[in-house]
Amino acid sequence: MVKVMLAVITLAFSLTCGQTLANDDIILTIDGQIAGGAPVNLRRADLEAIGNATITTTTPWHDGVVTFEGVPLTRLMEKIGAHGKIAFVVALNEYVTEIPLSDFSEHGAILALKKDGRYMEVADKGPLFVIYPYDDKPELKSEIYFSRSAWQVRTITIE
């Protein structure tokens, strides 16, 4: 708990002071209905070891076509043994969105770490951004999926 609080304070500090993240910072906590029951804390390298996929697309938040790289959310859910129906995704700015786990396999959403080959800093909507392949299907270019596209993701609770 103290570790999680420290990580949140560090990230909040990065947010306000425009600092870059260190590679060994915990950037994501997953809790709730997962294997073992205890919260899991992950660093960049932990996420990269789980899987990697790219999505090249336009988004409402960037100019032109952008390439995102990150862990496929299906792989992440398998790895942590998620056994619920919904992911409550909470961002550093306390934005919360509910994503049905079925979205991950149906639409191939990723938890992006990099944009155009570089890690996204907090000031650049990083360190983690839920990204869908918006250009692949017209339905993905809609308020539903845009609202599920949380940036500055910090915690995912499975229920």
Binding-site ranges for ligand MTE (CB under 6 A): 60-61, 91, 93, 95, 143, 146-147, 149-152
Give the integer Cα–Cα distance in Å for 84 and 134: 25
When binding is defined by CB under 5 A, the residue of 25, 147, 156, 159 that contacts Mo ion is: 147
**Nearest distance from C-beta of residue 147 to Mo ion, angstroms:** 4
Compare residues 79 and 132 and give the one whose CB is closer to ligand MTE.
132
* In contact, 79 and 110? CB cutoff 8 Å: no
**Nearest distance from C-beta of residue 83 to ligand MTE, angstroms:** 26
**Nearest distance from C-beta of residue 59 to ligand MTE, angstroms:** 9
* In contact, 48 and 113? CB cutoff 8 Å: yes
Q: Interface with Mo ion includes 20 (CB under 5 A)?
A: no
Give the integer Cα–Cα distance in Å for 131 and 57: 9
Give contact residues for Mo ion (rule: CB under 5 A). 147
